Amino acid sequence: KAIGQYSSASIPNTGPIPPRVGQTTTYNIVWQLVNVSNDLGEVEVESSLPPNVEWLGQIAPEGSNIEYDKGTGKIVWRVGKLPAATGILRPAVWAAFKVAIVPAPLDIGKYVQLIYDSKARGKDIFVGQIVGSDASQISTYLPNDPEVGQQGGFVKE
């Protein structure tokens, strides 16, 4: 799953909530992986940033294998092996990274997209088949963040 965070983030964020035209606000994007089936290998999660979103290079937990290509906006998290029952009998695996936006006047009254759809893929080691899961894009609409919610995501002047 993919979620956006402002107040309850593992990497502290700054900037106005709701976001304001011409001012920088930062957010965390968190990818969380659960595996209910067989052991998985070659697990990767990927997405990309819209052109108006800045990659800040801060990652948690430290040492997570996340790479960003500034030329394409593509982000790849190379997880590697994901054991069976991750997120059930053992803790879910997660990684977070920090992004920033500076809303433009045309964003007033709208949510700003922070990241495109995310795709997780891996190879089922027992069956030998590629399996995966997708997560929808994330915007400044953060219904699960108590400080942001629905109204705190709309850009203000």
Check if the beta carbon of residue 153 is closer than 8 Å to that of residue 18: yes
Angle of CA points 42, 123, 90, to nearest 5°? 80
- Residue 30, pLDDT above cutoff 90: yes
Q: What is the mean pLDDT of the chain?
A: 95
35-90 pLDDT, tens digit per residue, is 998 999 999 999 999 999 999 999 999 999 999 999 999 999 999 999 999 999 99
**Separation between Cα atoms, residue 146 and residue 144, nearest integer Å:** 6
pLDDT number for residue 101: 98
Q: Mean pLDDT over residues 107-128, rounded?
A: 96
Tokens at residue 154, please? 């709309």
